[in-house]
């Protein structure tokens, strides 16, 4: 099936272009030559590393709405200004402020012992002193779905779905479904609290936090993730067949609203300054680590790419915007706000790509563009080939996390896929720290982003951004 | 130099035997045949796994002197009895009781952030509320040694020595020197507290605890280990050249004495029941993990080996003792007590080997025996060859951690070296959990121990155990 899918869109693109008869978007030869030079310069540029090292060392964890979130904003504004962008500004983003104070879990019976646990974002706390309940375990989201409420009522539900490491990280679908939808589902069946095996691929005794969502009309119940080691342990205890009692004490919850901001920097285009290529990452992070791979490096890669482009003798035709998005983690708040405020001039957002899967080597590019721009994407891909990047013309590309919101209202999307094999070992854990970033792979990312940004900014013709242009293209990633 | 060293003792053994004219210790052919069968049976026996799984699941962490320490003792006594040993008994061991309640560290300035830290065993606590001091950093124990007291006085000393992974784990010498001797050295120069980069080879945000020792006449200062990620972070902050202030709050300390016990089980020898081969591991563990690789598996391997030997139609000539030692972690208390109480009949302890380096494949055997017994060790090694074990006749073998104390008073020692490449990633951390044990490698360990124990118990002649026999052989491992 895969070869068929791979060939089809390429054929379609040609066919449709001829059928529609629109002018193909093209990238001039001179721009391709410059892009190849940029690529090599980026492979020797440490701006992304210095940015990522600085943010994670001088600020550290950046939970949305925390004091460090504000500190990070000031840090990034100062850094953007120092790097020589023509314009640096903020756009406010308001969201519920979730606070974590402490969490504690233990098996009370039959074998008393502590469990390594982290509350999920947006989880309410337990009553002070915690709750103690018997546990009922399921090995998948579907098993919980199929369970009779009588089995679940009054109990702590545990779901032990497992993820395995893959280059495209597709098992995150399994883990994130349990995390985001499990607590609501368990609550709808009368559970008192919810625990999951961390959505991760490691075997460290460090739980993976992450946001959950409570559906309207369902009582929010306390929800937390066990480290995989402790999920193993709980499963071994459950397998012995005796009743298992857990005590869970979470001190956390939503406390009003907070207004943060997206921080935006622009290299001003020399010919069409009102049109822009947009790239970036999110500035917030979960709190157990220092948010190095998620997502200081994402902002750092965009900053590094802009930096090598800024060093050219002249600015590209279009503007280049770097966005450090606010509160991606608790539900794409920054991305949604950006989409809401920029939807009215969506044609100006010529193409966009956000980096939010760590900093390991980019191995694939996919895009959602108009058929007439497929050739231009192939031209970009050609310049990326020496970096080991393959072009999958069969798949869409929504531009990545926050930018998927702008894509949803019509921005053409470019997805630059990082190798995610190691990413879910550390994602949302205390292990998200700078040492997990390989400077050489980080520079490869910068080279890819620099080439893509520059060529999109120099392209003759657009990529199809228009209101609702990609409304039927929701499956991109 | 290595080939020379490897050959020399073999030659020496022959030469000395001839010179002394003692009767060589020999293992009868029938025993070698039985041992080869035992080896294959052990590779299919899950007793060691079940023991290790049970102890870590049903008891968990076993800090010496804690409630769980007593629980573990009861658990092991019951398990030994159920496994059909002829005799199960305890021998009391008294030691200072160290208690950990909590620990907290943070960089206060210039960049406020928490640090992942664990107090070292035997460390006193800080005054309530913690201490805040400027930090002075060193990159090795020797650098601290060379430092002028004026640089150190009143400060928190940090030593950032690094370990790398090796099959023989030799870099632990670097880390354990800093941990055991660093606090005393820093205190002697007037430091207010001591931090080290964890003695480990991983990059997880989980610190490695372990005991420290305060020399007589030196004020015990609070001492703790930073996770390698946080050691990296502190070093990056220090490198910026501004004064760095850390707040350290430890609630821990020695609180009187505790009397635990070594737990001993015996398969009664059929011909020389008063002579015995001794093997085992230590029952206590550090508290952050569940003590799977350190050292539930060590006891489990000995139990598994005894189990396959017990399944033979008849008991071997000599007895086989399995010992679960008390409080190895805080200073070989169980081993020293065992040595003190069994020194008077040291000749009965024919040969001994303790497993205390995890459960990865055994790759090498070394021994400290009388010259006339070198041939018998070579016979044992021959049966071990199909398991991928090489015999290094050039190096001594002190029998391993606790048994090194019995070796020091004259027991012949056999060291069965586990591959320690992964061991120091998890050693003394929360990551010391059951999932780190590979059942297949564990069974290989059982096969090695079963062969060695059986053949030592069947050997005609002894291995040289006698009061003070190996007094000049202190460098064994």
Is residue B254 predicted with pLDDT exceeding 80?
A: yes
Q: What is the average pLDDT score of chain B?
A: 95
SS3 B268: coil
The answer to whether the CB atoms of A57 and B236 lie below 8 A apart is yes
Tell if the CB–CB gap between B431 and A233 is shorter than 8 Å: no
Q: To which residue do tokens 């920054």 refer?
A: A334
Which residues of chain A lie closer than 8 angstroms to B228, CB-CB? 435
User: In the predicted model, is pLDDT for residue A190 greater than 70?
Assistant: yes
DSSP code, position A340? H
Interchain contact, B233 vs A433, CB within 8 Å: yes
Mind listing the pLDDT tens digit for each residue in A149-184? 999 999 999 999 999 999 999 999 999 999 999 999
The domain ranges of chain B are 4-86+268-458, 99-254
Does position B474 have pLDDT exceeding 90, yes or no? no
Alpha-carbon dihedral angle through residues B67, B71, B72, B73, given to the nearest 10 degrees: 110
pLDDT of residue A472: 74
Q: Is A89 helix (H, G, I), strand (E, B) or coil?
A: strand
pLDDT digits (tens, 9 = 90+) for B335-377: 999 999 999 999 999 999 999 999 999 999 999 999 999 999 9
CB contact under 8 A, A433 and B116: no
pLDDT at residue B12 is higher than 60? no
Residue of B nearest to A75 (CA): B111
C-alpha–C-alpha distance, residues A144 and A451, integer Å: 46
Q: What whole-number percentage of chain A has pLDDT above 90? A: 94
Please answer whether residues A65 and A72 qualify as being in contact, where contact means their C-beta atoms are separated by less than 8 angstroms.
no
The secondary structure of residue A408, as a DSSP letter, is: H
A57·B290 Cβ contact <8 A: no
Average pLDDT for A200-225: 98
> Is A113 in Cβ contact with B290 (below 8 Å)?
yes
Contacts for B239 with CB less than 8 Å, ≥ 6 apart: none
What pLDDT sits at residue A299?
98
pLDDT band at A21 (very low <50, low <70, confident <90, very high): low
Residue B229's pLDDT is 98
CB-based contact B203 A435, cutoff 8 Å: yes
Per-residue pLDDT at B96 exceeds 50: yes
| Separation between Cα atoms, residue B255 and residue B220, nearest integer Å | 14
Instruction: Tell me which of 3.90.180.10, 3.40.50.2300, 3.20.20.150, 3.40.630.10 is the CATH number of domain A4-86+268-458.
Output: 3.40.630.10
Angstroms from A201 CA to nearest CA on chain B: 13
Nearest CA in chain B to A113: B60
| Token reading at A93 | 């983003």
The DSSP secondary-structure symbol of A461 reads S
Per DSSP, the residues of A186-250 read HHHTT-SEEEEE-SSS--SS-----B--PPTTS----EEEE-HHHHHHHHHHHHT-S--EEEEEE
pLDDT at B20: 52
- Please tell me which residue of chain B has the smallest CA distance to A232: B435
Sequence-distant (6+) residues with CB within 8 A of B93 are: B259, B260, B261, B262, B326, B327, B333, B334, B337
A115, β-bridge pairs = A105
- In sequence order, the 6+-apart residues with CB closer than 8 A to the CB of B285 are B61, B62, B63, B291, B294, B295, B296, B329, B432
| pLDDT at position B15 over 70 | no
pLDDT tens-digit profile of B34-54?
Answer: 999 999 999 999 999 999 999
What is the reported pLDDT for A13?
Answer: 43
Q: What is the pLDDT of residues B405-455, one digit of tens each?
A: 999 999 999 999 999 999 999 999 999 999 999 999 999 999 999 999 999
Average pLDDT of the segment spanning A97-104: 98
Question: Residue B475 phi/psi, 5° resolution?
Answer: -85, 0
Contacts of B287 in chain A (CB under 8 A): none
3-class secondary structure, A29: helix
Burial degree of B92 (CB within 10 A; 0-12, 13-18, 19+): exposed
Chain A residues within 8 A of B232 when measuring between CB atoms: 433-435
Task: Count how many pairs of residues, chain A against chain B, have C-beta atoms within 8 Å.
Answer: 82
Contacts of A292 by beta carbon, 8 Å cutoff, 6+ apart? A52, A56, A432, A433, A434, A436, A437
Mutate to test the interface with B, among A49, A102, A435 (most CBs of B within 10 A): A435
Residue A54 to chain B, least CA–CA distance (Å):
9
**Closest partner residue to A53 among B111, B228, B236, by Cβ?**
B236
**Backbone dihedral angles phi then psi of residue A8, each to the nearest 5 degrees:** -50, -55
CA distance A282 to chain B (A): 20
Facing residues of B196 across strands?
Answer: B159, B225
**Mean pLDDT of the B145-149 span:** 98
In this structure, which CATH number among 3.40.50.1820, 3.40.1190.20, 1.10.357.10, 3.50.30.30 belongs to the domain A99-254?
3.50.30.30
Task: Quote the strand ranges of A355-445, DSSP E.
Answer: 362-368, 390-391, 413-418
**Residues of B belonging to the active site:** 328
Q: Could you give the residue numbers annotated as active site of A?
A: 328
């Amino acid at each position: 099936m895969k070869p068929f899918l791979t060939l089809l869109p390429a054929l379609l693109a040609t066919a449709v272009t001829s059928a529609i008869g629109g002018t193909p978007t093209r990238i001039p030869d001179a721009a391709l030559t410059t892009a190849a030079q940029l690529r090599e310069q980026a492979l020797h540029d440490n701006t992304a590393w210095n940015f990522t090292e600085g943010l994670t060392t001088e600020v550290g964890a950046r939970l949305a709405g925390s004091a460090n979130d504000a500190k990070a904003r000031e840090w990034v504004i100062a850094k953007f200004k120092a790097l020589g962008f023509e314009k640096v500004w903020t756009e406010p983003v308001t969201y519920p402020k979730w606070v974590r104070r402490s969490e504690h879990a233990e098996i009370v019976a039959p074998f008393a012992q502590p469990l390594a646990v982290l509350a999920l974002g947006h989880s309410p706390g337990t009553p002070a002193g915690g709750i103690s309940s018997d546990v009922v375990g399921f090995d998948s989201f579907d098993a919980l779905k199929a369970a009779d409420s009588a089995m679940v009522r009054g109990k702590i539900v545990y779901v032990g779905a497992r993820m395995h490491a893959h280059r495209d990280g597709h098992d995150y679908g399994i883990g994130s479904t349990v995390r985001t939808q499990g607590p609501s589902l368990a609550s709808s069946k009368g559970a008192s609290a919810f625990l999951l095996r961390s959505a991760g691929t490691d075997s460290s005794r460090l739980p993976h936090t992450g946001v959950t969502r409570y559906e309207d009309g369902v009582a929010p119940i306390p929800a937390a993730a066990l480290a995989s080691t402790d999920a193993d342990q709980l499963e071994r205890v459950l397998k012995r067949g005796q009743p298992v009692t857990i005590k869970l004490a979470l001190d956390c919850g939503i406390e009003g609203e907070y207004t943060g901001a997206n921080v935006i920097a622009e290299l001003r285009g020399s010919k069409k300054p009102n049109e822009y290529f947009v790239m970036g990452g999110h500035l917030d992070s979960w709190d157990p680590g220092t948010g190095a791979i998620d997502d200081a490096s994402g902002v750092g890669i965009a900053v590094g790419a802009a930096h090598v482009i800024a060093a050219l003798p002249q600015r590209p035709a279009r503007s280049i915007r770097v966005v450090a998005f606010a509160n991606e983690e608790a539900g794409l708040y920054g991305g949604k706000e950006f989409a809401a405020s920029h939807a009215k001039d969506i044609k100006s957002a010529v193409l966009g790509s956000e980096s939010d899967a760590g900093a390991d080597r980019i191995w694939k590019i996919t895009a959602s563009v108009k058929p007439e721009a497929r050739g231009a994407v192939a031209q970009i891909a050609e310049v990326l080939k020496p970096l080991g990047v393959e072009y999958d013309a069969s798949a869409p590309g929504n531009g990545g996390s926050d930018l998927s919101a702008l894509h949803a209202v019509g921005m053409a999307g470019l997805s630059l896929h990082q190798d995610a094999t190691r990413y879910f070992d550390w994602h949302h854990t205390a292990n998200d720290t700078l040492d997990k970033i390989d400077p050489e792979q980080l520079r490869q990312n910068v080279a890819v982003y620099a080439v893509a940004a520059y060529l999109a900014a120099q392209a003759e013709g657009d990529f199809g951004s228009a209101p609702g242009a990609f409304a039927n293209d929701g499956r991109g990633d």
